[in-house]
Structure 1
Amino acid sequence: MVSVWRAAMAVVATVGLLGSAAQIVQAQVPWPTGVADLPSTWTPALPGTYGPDTAVVILGYGLTPEGAMREELVRRLRAGLLQAALAPLSPVIVTGGNPRAGITEADAMAAWLVANGVAPERILREDRADSTVQNARRTATMMADRGLRAAVLVTSDDHIVRAATAFADADVAVVGELTPDRIPWFVQPLWLGSFGAGAVSAAR
């Protein structure tokens, strides 16, 4: 079962890589100078393909007192894993501090992503933020330092508007938004149900 899961990940990553290349070649419109210039059609509910200057940003969620991830955070990670597979050139930023039992949200998220096939060197950890505003500001600084000019936000459906507003206020160009609840029904059974740490552990 694990080999099937890894093969499926490889296929999706290949499709994402080809889509990223096509997107780069076809892009004729210059990047907007500000977030206010971004049309609403640039924030799709479907996962998209993006290049190396666009980060997949997964926002944290409070851990248990023992430092374990709650189910809502795992759901965000599964959605983020799908987006990361479809945009294999994009770095993945996990943002969240609030340590519990010595573990930050970012540390727990990074460990989950690595366990599910994301290369450790692809993951950037922002492990000091203690609020959505701090998520945005600290991630913005991290992105600027690395020359990343846009972000795809991954969080919960009841959090995405607040998160997008905070990132816009931090001068981050949000070109995509993804939540577990917005992924279409024909994608959910494949990714959110079949793949992820739980599925891999069960297969072993």
Structure 2
Amino acid sequence: MARNRKPGCIGRVFRLIGWLITLGVLAFVGLFGHLLYKEYTLPQPGTYSAIVVLGAQVNPDGSPSVQLEWRLNKALEMYKAQPMQIVVTGAQGADEPATEASVMAAWLIARGVLPEHVLMDDTSFNTKENLANAVKLLSRSTVDLLIVTSDYHLPRALQIARDMGLNPSGVGSPIKPEYWVKNHFRETLAWGKYLLQRFIPFLDRF
């Protein structure tokens, strides 16, 4: 009898694994569709009293990567239309020669942004930390933020800001076409992680 049960148990295990894989694929497809919908139906920016620019990769020579420079160009465009405080965010990664925030600040100041308008958060390593630290640098009454980041990243950044009790608007910058698949794949996984941490609080430790 025991010998007959063993193949049945193995079969149930494989069926369970199959169901879990199927559910994982369906969840990924659903999140990917959610991301695209949010990305392509973003509203126009509302009123805001500060600009927050989220960091990205810095080149080995200390210059902004293309993706980061496009974010900065968009931030500069919004600043020139309405000068105000602008927070640049991002710590120094293991493969970066300087903090993302310091490189961003230097780039903006070199192009006419007043130094006294630039605030730096050079300690954050992810989107949630970017926004939390940016808020600490601003006046306590500042809740109307304009978030500037890459277009694929903007929906999640806005959702995180709303979950923090802020009233965010956003503008997105483009990405290189050859990175579209990779960036959207990673962002879909990031959405999944964020939603799990949001609804299962103890996962926020990971």
CA contact (8 A) 1:97 1:126 kept: yes
Q: Which amino acid aligns with 1:80?
A: A
Share of identical aligned residues, percent? 33
TM superposition score normalised by structure 1:
0.59
Q: How does 1:35-46 map to 2 (within 5 A)?
A: 44-45=43-44
Cα distance in 2 for residues equivalent to 1:113 and 1:71: 15
- The residue aligned with 1:96 is 90
CA contact (8 A) 1:49 1:87 kept: no
Cα distance in 2 for residues equivalent to 1:113 and 1:138: 19
Deviation track 1:11-46 (CA, whole Å, cap 9, x = no partner) reads xxxxxxxxxxxxxxxxxxxxxxxxxxxxxxxx7436
Indicate which of 111, 120, 123 corresponds to 1:116. 111
Shift of 1:49: 6.7
- Runs ≥4 in structure 1, deviation > 4 angstroms? none
Q: Does 1:70 align with 2:65?
A: yes
Cα distance in 1 for residues equivalent to 2:92 and 2:163: 22
How well do the aligned residues superpose, as a CA RMSD in angstroms? 2.2
Q: Does 1:82 align with 2:77?
A: yes
Q: Which amino acid aligns with 1:136?
A: L
Cα distance in 1 for residues equivalent to 2:111 and 2:68: 15
Cα distance in 2 for residues equivalent to 1:170 and 1:126: 18
> Number of residues paired by the alignment?
132
Q: How does 1:15-34 map to 2 (within 5 A)?
A: none
Specify which structure has the higher proportion of helix.
Answer: 2
1 or 2 for the larger relative contact order (CA 8 Å, sep ≥6)?
A: 1
Indicate which of 150, 153, 174 corresponds to 1:156. 150
Listed as ranges, the gaps of 5+ residues in structure 2 are 1-41, 175-206
